[in-house]
Amino acid sequence: MTDRRLQDISLHFLIRQKGKPYSQRIEQFDQLFAANQDTPENVSDLQLERYRKTILDASIEELKNHDIVLCTCSCASSKRVVSGTNIAQIIIDECAMCMEPDALIPLVTFSSAEQVVLIGDHKQLQPIVLNSDAKNLGLQKSMFERYAGRAIMLNIQYRMV
């Protein structure tokens, strides 16, 4: 997928498209920020607060229109994702590289999800844990690796065929 195509579908760009409920307000804020790029002190805390609220409201409204939402594990607990979506399935790609607490974020946030799919290869990529206390607590072992014995493993790598 090209960078331009990714821009077309990213939430940042979707909420700014003409005809979207909050696009005019966001455009006004964007113009304000551009005009004060060299003098950010001219933008008040109240204006920043209103901007953040507008972006949140626009994001929640936009996410309600989509059946598929791609985000990081940590982003899954954000107000915009929680308020704007009805998650039925969670797919965590490269889960073998994800520390277990990170993988738990979408699972706990959307505990009513009907299906969870963990994708990865625990023999290749593992979480990078540098802290010795974290290693002693077992954080270098991913949720994917922990459940690998109970998983359905593919014996053909379809991307490389």
> Which of residues 151 and 102 earns the better pLDDT score?
102
Q: Where in the chain is the domain with CATH 3.40.50.300?
A: 68-161
Pick the more confident residue, 149 or 71.
Answer: 71
CATH assignment of 68-161, given 3.40.50.300, 3.30.870.10, 3.40.718.10, 1.25.40.10? 3.40.50.300
The structure's pTM equals 0.79
Q: Could you give the CA distance from residue 55 to residue 26 in angstroms, rounded to a whole number?
A: 7
Mean pLDDT computed over every residue of the chain: 90
Q: What is the pLDDT of residue 150?
A: 86
Reported confidence tier of residue 139, pLDDT bands at 50, 70, 90: very high
| 5-59 per-position pLDDT tens digit | 555 679 999 999 999 999 999 999 999 999 999 999 999 999 999 999 999 999 9
Look at residue 154 and tell me whether its pLDDT is greater than 80: no
Contact between 61 and 21 (Cβ < 8 Å): yes
Whose tokens are 């072992």? That residue is: 141
**What is the rounded average pLDDT of the residues 69-74?**
93
Q: Which residue has the higher pLDDT, 117 or 2?
A: 117
Read off the pLDDT of each residue in 87-98 and give the average, rounded to a whole number: 94
Least confident of 1-5, 28-32, 67-71: 1-5
User: Can you give the pLDDT at residue 148?
Assistant: 85
For 2-56, the DSSP string reads: -HHHHHHHSHHHHTTSTTSTTHHHHHHHHHHHHHTSS-GGGS-HHHHHHHHHHHH
